[in-house]
Amino acid sequence: NAGVTQTPKFRVLKTGQSMTLLCAQDMNHEYMYWYRQDPGMGLRLIHYSVGEGTTAKGEVPDGYNVSRLKKQNFLLGLESAAPSQTSVYFCASSASGYNEQFFGPGTRLTVL
């Protein structure tokens, strides 16, 4: 039981490049979330999903897209990376909206 895993762990991009972050969970959770963590800012919600095939915007969705084609996977895409997207990205999942959210180990992304 791996819990929540994220791929990759580190990535460096140039401005304008695109990439996809993959989140996978093996707990059969319905809900999945993407957060970003910036110094002194805490975690902020980017997008979330309440079930396979659904997505919704969080607090800071601009510049990101997501997809939930399979229940166990939640993808976060950056179409044209900007330096302002340099951050640590966390994925989380939960059985329902009221249950504990389990977090992945994070992805450190640097955009030059």
Which residues make up the interface to other proteins (CB under 8 A)?
A: 31, 33, 40-45, 48, 50, 58-59, 88, 90, 92, 94, 96-98, 100-101, 103, 105-106
Task: State the minimum distance, in angstroms, from the CB of residue 69 to other proteins.
Answer: 20
Closest CA to 37 of 85, 79, 97, 75: 85
Encoded amino acid at 53, one letter: G
Task: State the minimum distance, in angstroms, from the CB of residue 28 to other proteins.
Answer: 17
Radius of gyration of the chain (CA): 13
Task: State the minimum distance, in angstroms, from the CB of residue 42 to other proteins.
Answer: 4
Judged by beta carbon, residue 58 or residue 63, the one nearer other proteins is 58
Residue 61 exposed, middle or buried by CB count within 10 Å (0-12, 13-18, 19+): middle
